[in-house]
């Protein structure tokens, strides 16, 4: 891996210098001083002595494989419903893969308390985000960087006077899957209606009795 790291470092820096010499690199804002060849060479010199970390693995088969791979970490919970085989008041029986033995399907029974304890290990603490944006999409300077991108691309900013209606997650789920989260999971014909939003520390009220409504 050390040989691969040095090889990649050399090839990367050579291509970067070639791009600078042929005028393919553009410097804007705080990077404008790097247009000067001696300044660019001095800025690039420490990178030739740094230890680069290179990780190599076979490429993905395509965009769909990348989305499937990332989706297992961003849009799934610790255990899917189809792996839960039996649940009673004291224990949970579920299916798991034994990767030490060719990913064979096996079953395991845990007490309800132990199952909940293991499940909560996958819940992010308060203040942590499952997906965090970096670079020019980071929250600290997203507005300024997006404005710079639009200026460099010659694009007009969106019209602030016309409000953009955010798509409800239930509508988005139905658009992507063709199934509705509003339908009753039992009969499939009725619709789920939220009567009242809960408030932390206050118990939700029961729906009013129709016989007492005048």
Over residues 22-58, the pLDDT tens digits come to 999 888 888 899 999 999 999 999 999 888 888 777 7
Domain count, the chain: 2
Q: In which residue are the tokens 């009795």 written?
A: 209
Q: Is 177 part of a structural domain of the chain?
A: no
What six digits make up the tokens of 106? 């096996």
Q: Within a domain: residue 104?
A: yes
In a domain, 33, yes or no: yes
- Do residue 43 and residue 72 come from a single domain? no
Residue 214 has pLDDT above 50, yes or no: no
User: What angle (nearest 5°) sits at the alpha carbon of residue 202, between those of residues 196 and 203?
Assistant: 65
Q: Is residue 156 part of a domain?
A: no
Could you tell me the pLDDT band of residue 213, with boundaries at 50, 70 and 90? very low
Question: Average of pLDDT values for 130-157?
Answer: 84
| Contact (Cβ atoms closer than 8 angstroms) between residue 183 and residue 191 | yes
Q: For residue 210, tell me if it sits in a domain.
A: no
Residues 109 and 72 in one domain: yes
Alpha-carbon distance of 71 to 132, in angstroms, equals 15
DSSP symbols for 116-160: HHHHHTTSPPTT--SS---GGGSGGGHHHHHHHHHHHHTPPPP-T
67 and 40 fall within a common domain: no
Q: What is the pTM of this model?
A: 0.37
Work out the angle between the directed axes of helices 37-44 and 2-21 (0-180°, nearest 10): 170
Q: What is the pLDDT of residues 165-199, one digit of tens each?
A: 567 777 878 888 888 888 887 787 777 666 655 55
Residue 27 shares a structural domain with residue 72: no
CA atoms of 183 and 180, how far apart (whole Å): 6
Domain residues for 14? Answer: 2-48
pLDDT at 15: 94
168 vs 141, higher pLDDT: 141
Based on the fold, state whether residues 37 and 67 are members of the same structural domain.
no
In angstroms, what CA-CA distances link 109 with 18, 85, 104, 112, 118? 61, 10, 17, 9, 13
Mean pLDDT, rounded, for 154-160: 79
71 and 42 part of one domain:
no
On whether residue 88 sits in a domain, the answer given is: yes
Shortest CA distance to 22 belongs to which of 37, 10, 6? Answer: 37
Neighbours of 54 (CB within 10 A): 14
Q: Is residue 205 part of a domain?
A: no
pLDDT tens digit sequence for 63-120:
788 878 777 777 777 888 889 999 988 999 999 999 889 889 999 999 999 999 899 8
38 shares its domain with 75: no
* Exposure string over 154-191, b if 16+ CB within 10 A, otherwise e: eeeeeeeeeeeeeeeeeeeeeeeeeeeeeeeeeeeeee
CB 83 within 8 A of CB 93: no
CA distance 156 to 95: 53
Distance between CA atoms of 16 and 122, rounded to whole angstroms? 41
Give me the pLDDT at residue 194, please. Answer: 64
On whether residue 190 sits in a domain, the answer given is no
Q: For 189, which DSSP code?
A: S
């Amino acid at each position: 891996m050390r040989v691969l790291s040095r090889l990649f470092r050399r090839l990367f820096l050579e291509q970067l210098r070639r791009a600078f010499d042929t005028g393919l690199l553009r410097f804007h804002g705080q990077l404008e001083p790097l247009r000067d060849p001696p300044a660019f060479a001095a800025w690039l010199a420490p990178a030739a002595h740094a230890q680069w970390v290179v990780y190599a693995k076979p490429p993905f088969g395509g965009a769909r494989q990348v989305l499937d791979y990332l989706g297992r970490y961003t849009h799934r919970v610790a255990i899917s419903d189809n792996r839960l085989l039996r649940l009673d008041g004291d224990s949970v029986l579920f299916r798991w893969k034994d990767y030490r033995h060719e990913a064979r399907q096996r079953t395991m029974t845990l007490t309800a308390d132990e199952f909940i304890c293991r499940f909560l290990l996958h819940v992010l603490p308060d203040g942590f985000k499952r997906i965090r944006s970096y670079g020019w999409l980071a929250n600290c300077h997203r507005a300024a960087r997006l404005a710079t991108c639009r200026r460099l691309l010659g694009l007009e900013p969106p019209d602030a006077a016309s409000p953009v209606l955010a798509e409800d997650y239930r509508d988005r789920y139905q658009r992507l899957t063709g199934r509705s989260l509003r339908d009753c999971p039992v009969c499939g014909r009725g619709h789920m209606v939220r009567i009242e939003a809960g408030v932390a520390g206050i118990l939700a009220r029961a729906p009013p009795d129709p016989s007492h409504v005048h």
